[in-house]
């Protein structure tokens, strides 16, 4: 076989990944996805190996619950046929490989810089000179926004090409947040440092990224987490989903000037994140998840407390949500605004909520289950219109769904068995892939170790990496004044993308 | 209309009446206390992911600390984190908590620039710049403005344009790619202006301090007026820090004598 089938969180020897010549590599991976809507690329990256670049491509299959991994070795100065010439979903992965290693891809639409990484191949390219797409014309004008935005949010530059009030094209330039996290994973040696780095990938998905790192690390060290560890992680993941979705609903309300909704959702988020502080000492769950450990056991007292919080939260949340979704002035702003068609979502390989709002059933919790999700029989919530309304509705229903899961989980608290296990050294010459469904969508971490068991590669992919393009497509032919609600309805991560 | 009024009625009053004395729920890692107990200091120092712990005598630098709490978990007799969230100060060295010294972290009114109280004492408008922040401090800055913490009631608000601002609030370790936009934003703020650093990443670079993608040159050129530590900083830490810097508490006490 010219590829290897692995499951989520599985560690394999690197040598088990078949190495192909580029033509077979190209045919294999584009062939996997072509005409297979249930498959998508979860990670495609390169790294230096001796004097060559090794490319590794990971394709997830939702039907078989497996990931197909294959590799290819190529010289640094080389020109290769772009996967993108056949499938658009590889577009950004190839841009990233081009930026990092200088490999030229033939028939790629435009090999623009992704994040101006400090270790990029071409240092003459600087963030101040990004090559924007331009259209000349007397009726058209450009609007530039950012990197610093009006609100208290992260930096990124948006360049609109407009005809009057109507947006024809939006290009999103990122990279301002680049902190070199992937390199720091290699230079910071202690497990605690790496776990803390994982927490800081993006502060709104602390649990998602730290859980992805923890499962990866445990798998690399050959450790099987006990039930209470799985329990805490599942609980924290769903709590994070509830809290952020509630906060996002507040932000959408603020952008359509529905002040009451904004205030009520904003205040409803507080008891949820304050509970995370009661549990682990931090409102954003930093310090809660660690490999091999359940350092803040979930006691029956905490369970009682959370049940009470839910009992107070639920009626208030449903009251404001019912009101929001029946107000004509609200609906007129949400419905048919910022539409991304299912075909576009499929083509760009969007993941998570962004895929589900257009009817595409893509959810790692069901396709590549982990933690206690197999027991929950999770059914992803799907919407079909791909507009802001669908994204708001998904959030509302996922909050209720997560709450039901949490109540179910808390009916049976696990016995506390973990006694702060010290994990050993990672296995030598190994490859691990770890996927988690964060609240935005699929988070994928990959690691490769050398013969001493030291990390030689740590690759992070936040769902935003796929989904930023969905935002750019959603605003086409919309009024520029609707951009803020389109943006908030996706709420993508800058720091998770820029790393 | 009536449904909306019903919701308003159901929600009732949400604001925290006194932000200086409010209690935070559950465990919270605020100002640490270091006891005189003898421990293996080298092990303690090596434990810290951010090199925030120094020895002889043992001290923790809150400007570097990521508040992960590992030291307190492993050495509970030596280090305990209290729920004291008032840990903002205008002097960098006040962030270093020393063994056996148990006193609050405070703004030193003697070293605060005189014009800050005179000009910004009643109203302070700030422009926030995220320079590599991970969106957690940005989150908490936004939370400081929600209906519960309601920083706006003290006349402290975030504005969209640096031209309308009295100073900038920096989050994140200052990435190389954000160094130039940060400088442009700062230059656009009219004088006199203040600089506030929020979060461990902004104060010391945190875990990213030795990353080659960081450029902290900006901070070598301009004086910092307030350090608000945390990972992320708690909204109450932020509000109390800003109130102490502008000496607004005196004003509040004048209007509402206790």
| Predicted confidence (pLDDT) per residue in A439-487, tens digit | 999 999 999 999 998 999 999 999 999 999 999 999 999 999 999 999 9
DSSP letter for B175, please. B
Q: Please report, to the nearest 10 degrees, the dihedral formed by the alpha carbons of residues B106, B109, B113, B119 taken in order.
A: 100
Q: Is the pLDDT of residue B258 over 60?
A: no
**Residues of chain A with C-beta less than 8 angstroms from the C-beta of B213:** 117-118, 178-180, 183
Q: Please give the residue of chain A at the shortest CA–CA distance from B170.
A: A152
Pick left, alpha or beta for residue A178 (phi over 0 → left; psi -120 to 50 → alpha; otherwise beta): beta
Q: A327: distance to nearest CA of chain B, Å?
A: 10
Mean per-residue pLDDT, A61-78: 90
Token match 């208290």: residue?
Answer: A152
Measured CA to CA, the distance from residue A245 to residue A267 in angstroms comes to 13
The whole-number average pLDDT for the span B25-48 is 89
Among residues 83-122 of chain B, which lie with CB inside 8 Å of chain A?
Answer: none
Phi and psi torsions of A470, nearest 5°? -65, -40
What does the pLDDT read at residue B256?
62
Task: Scan for tokens 């008032």, then name that residue.
Answer: B86
pLDDT at A47: 92
Residues in A closer than 8 angstroms to B10, CB to CB, are 316, 319
Task: Count CB-CB contacts under 10 A for residue B77.
Answer: 10
Where does A181-498 sit in CATH, by number?
A: 1.10.645.10
B251 band by pLDDT with thresholds 50, 70 and 90: low
Return d(Cα A364, Cα A431) in angstroms, integer: 20
Predicted pLDDT at B10? 86
pLDDT of A88 higher than 60: yes
User: Which of chain B's residues have a Cβ under 8 Å away from the Cβ of A153?
Assistant: 130, 135, 138
Q: Is the pLDDT of residue B168 over 60?
A: yes
Q: B214, A260: Cβ pair inside 8 Å? A: no
The confidence band for B20, taking pLDDT boundaries of 50, 70 and 90, is confident
**Could you read off the pLDDT of A414-434 as tens digits, one per residue?**
887 666 677 888 999 999 999
Q: Kindly state whether A125 is in contact with chain B, defined as any CB-CB distance less than 8 angstroms.
A: no
All domains of chain B, ordered by start, with CATH?
A: 114-255 (3.40.50.12280)
B41-63 pLDDT, tens digit per residue, is 888 899 999 999 998 888 999 99
Q: Which of A154, A280, A316 sits opposite B133 (nearest CB)?
A: A154
Distance in Å, alpha carbon of A319 to nearest chain B alpha carbon: 7
Which tens digit of pLDDT belongs to each residue from A94-120?
999 999 998 999 999 999 999 999 998
Q: Do A323 and B3 touch (CB under 8 A)?
A: yes
Domain boundaries, chain A: 4-122, 181-498
Task: Please report the residues numbered 129 through 168 in chain A whose beta carbons come closer than 8 angstroms to any beta carbon of chain B.
Answer: 147-148, 150-155
Look at residue A468 in the predicted model and tell me its pLDDT. 94
Q: Is the pLDDT of residue A250 over 90?
A: yes
The predicted structure's pLDDT at residue A357: 93
The answer to whether A288 contacts chain B (CB < 8 Å) is no
Which chain A residues are Cβ-neighbours of B172 within 8 angstroms? 177, 179
Q: How confident is the model at residue B257 (pLDDT cuts 50, 70, 90)?
A: low
A478-481: long-range contacts (C-beta < 8 A, 24 or more apart)?
A: A478/A166, A478/A167, A478/A337, A478/A338, A479/A165, A479/A166, A479/A167, A480/A143, A480/A160, A480/A162, A480/A165, A480/A166, A480/A167, A481/A165
pLDDT at site A50: 84
Size of the A and B interface in Cβ pairs below 8 Å = 190
Taking 60 as the threshold, does the pLDDT of residue A367 lie above it?
yes
Share above pLDDT 70 across residues of chain A, in percent, rounded to a whole number: 99
Give the minimum alpha-carbon distance from A127 to chain B in angstroms, rounded to a whole number: 7
Q: Which of A155-159, A326-330, B12-16 has the lowest mean pLDDT?
A: B12-16
Average pLDDT over residues A248-261: 93
Chain A residues within an 8 Å CB radius of B207: 184, 188, 193, 196-197, 200
What is the distance in angstroms between the Cα of A179 and the nearest Cα belonging to chain B? 5
Given the structure tokens 């290009």, which residue do they identify? A171
* Confidence category of residue A35, pLDDT binned at 50, 70, 90: confident
What is the rounded distance in angstroms from the CA atom of residue B208 to the CA atom of residue A204? 18
Considering CB atoms only, which of B11, B49, B132 is closest to A192?
Answer: B49
Closest by CA to A497, choosing from A69, A96, A54, is A96
pLDDT above 70 as % of chain B: 96
Domain A4-122 has CATH 3.30.470.20: no
Instruction: Tell me if B175 and A178 make a contact (CB, 8 A cut-off).
Output: yes
- CB pair distance less than 8 Å for B68 and A196: yes
CB within 8 Å: B136 and A264 = no
User: Which residues in chain A are contacts of B176 at CB distance < 8 A?
Assistant: 118, 178
Nearest CB to A277; choose among B7, B26, B132? B26
pLDDT in tens, A122-149: 888 888 889 999 888 888 999 999 899 9
Region B115-127: mean pLDDT is: 88
């Amino acid at each position: 076989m010219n590829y290897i089938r692995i499951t989520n969180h599985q560690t394999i020897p690197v040598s088990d990944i078949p190495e192909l010549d580029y033509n077979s590599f190209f045919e294999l991976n584009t062939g996997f996805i072509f005409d297979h809507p249930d498959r998508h690329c979860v990670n495609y990256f390169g790294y230096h190996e001796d004097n060559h670049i090794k490319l590794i491509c990971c394709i997830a299959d939702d039907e078989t619950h497996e990931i197909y991994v294959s590799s290819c070795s190529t010289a640094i100065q080389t020109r290769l046929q772009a996967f993108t010439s056949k499938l658009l979903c590889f577009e950004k992965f190839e841009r990233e490989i081009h930026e990092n290693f200088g490999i030229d891809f033939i028939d790629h639409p435009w090999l623009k810089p992704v994040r101006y990484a400090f270790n990029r191949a071409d240092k003459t390219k600087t963030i101040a000179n990004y090559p924007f797409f331009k259209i000349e014309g007397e009726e058209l004008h450009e609007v530039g926004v950012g990197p610093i935005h009006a609100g208290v949010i992260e930096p990124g530059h948006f360049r609109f090409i407009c005809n009057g009030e109507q947006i024809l094209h939006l290009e999103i330039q990122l990279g301002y947040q680049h902190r070199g996290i992937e390199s720091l994973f290699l230079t910071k040696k202690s497990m605690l440092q790496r776990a803390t780095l994982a927490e800081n990938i993006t502060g709104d998905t602390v649990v998602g990224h730290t859980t992805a790192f923890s499962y990866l690390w445990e798998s690399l060290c050959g450790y099987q987490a006990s039930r209470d560890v799985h329990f805490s992680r599942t609980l924290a993941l769903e709590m994070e989903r509830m809290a952020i979705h509630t906060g996002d609903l507040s932000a959408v309300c603020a952008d359509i000037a529905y002040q009451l909704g904004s205030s009520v959702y904003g205040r409803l988020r507080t008891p949820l994140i304050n509970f995370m502080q009661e549990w682990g000492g931090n409102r954003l769950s930093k310090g809660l998840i660690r490999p091999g450990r359940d350092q803040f056991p979930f006691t029956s007292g905490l369970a009682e407390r959370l049940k009470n919080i839910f009992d107070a939260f639920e009626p208030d949340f449903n009251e404001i949500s019912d009101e929001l979704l029946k107000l004509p002035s609200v609906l007129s702003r949400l419905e048919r605004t910022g539409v991304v068609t299912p075909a576009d979502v499929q083509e760009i390989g969007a993941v998570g909520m962004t895929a589900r709002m257009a009817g595409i059933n893509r959810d790692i919790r069901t396709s590549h289950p982990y933690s206690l999700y197999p027991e929950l029989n999770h059914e992803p919530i799907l919407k079909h219109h791909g507009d802001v309304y669908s994204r708001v509705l998904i959030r509302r229903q996922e909050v209720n769904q997560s709450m039901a899961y949490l109540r179910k989980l808390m009916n049976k608290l696990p016995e506390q068995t973990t006694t702060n296990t010290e994990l050993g050294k990672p296995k030598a010459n190994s490859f691990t892939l770890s996927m988690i469904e964060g609240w935005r969508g699929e988070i994928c971490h990959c690691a490769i170790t050398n013969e001493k068991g030291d990390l030689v590669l740590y690759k992070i992919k936040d769902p935003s990496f796929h989904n930023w393009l969905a935002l750019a497509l959603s605003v086409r032919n919309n009024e520029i004044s609707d951009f803020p609600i389109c943006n908030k309805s996706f709420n993508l991560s800058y720091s998770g993308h820029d790393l | 209309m009536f449904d909306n009024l019903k919701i308003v009625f159901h929600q009732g009053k949400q604001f925290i009446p006194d932000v200086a004395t409010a209690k935070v729920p559950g465990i919270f890692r605020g100002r640490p206390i270091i006891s005189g107990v003898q421990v293996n200091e080298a092990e303690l120092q090596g434990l810290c992911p951010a090199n925030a712990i120094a020895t002889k005598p043992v001290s923790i630098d809150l400007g570097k600390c990521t508040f992960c709490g590992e030291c307190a978990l492993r050495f509970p007799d030596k280090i305990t984190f209290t729920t004291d969230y008032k840990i903002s100060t205008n002097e960098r060295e006040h962030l270093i908590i020393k063994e056996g010294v148990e006193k609050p972290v405070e703004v030193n009114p003697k070293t605060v620039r005189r014009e800050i109280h005179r000009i910004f004492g009643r109203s302070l408008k700030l422009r926030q710049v995220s320079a590599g922040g991970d969106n957690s401090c940005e989150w908490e800055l936004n939370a400081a403005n929600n209906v519960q913490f309601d920083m706006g009631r003290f006349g402290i608000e975030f504005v969209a344009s640096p031209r309308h601002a009295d100073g900038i609030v920096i989050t994140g370790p200052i990435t190389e790619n954000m160094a130039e936009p940060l400088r442009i934003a700062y230059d656009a703020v009219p004088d006199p202006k203040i600089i506030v650093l929020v979060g461990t990443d902004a104060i010391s670079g945190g875990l990213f301090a030795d990353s080659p993608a960081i450029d902290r040159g900006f901070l070598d050129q301009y004086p910092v007026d307030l350090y608000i530590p945390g990972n992320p900083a708690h909204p109450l830490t932020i509000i109390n820090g800003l109130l102490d810097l502008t000496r607004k508490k005196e004003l509040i006490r004048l209007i509402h004598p206790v």
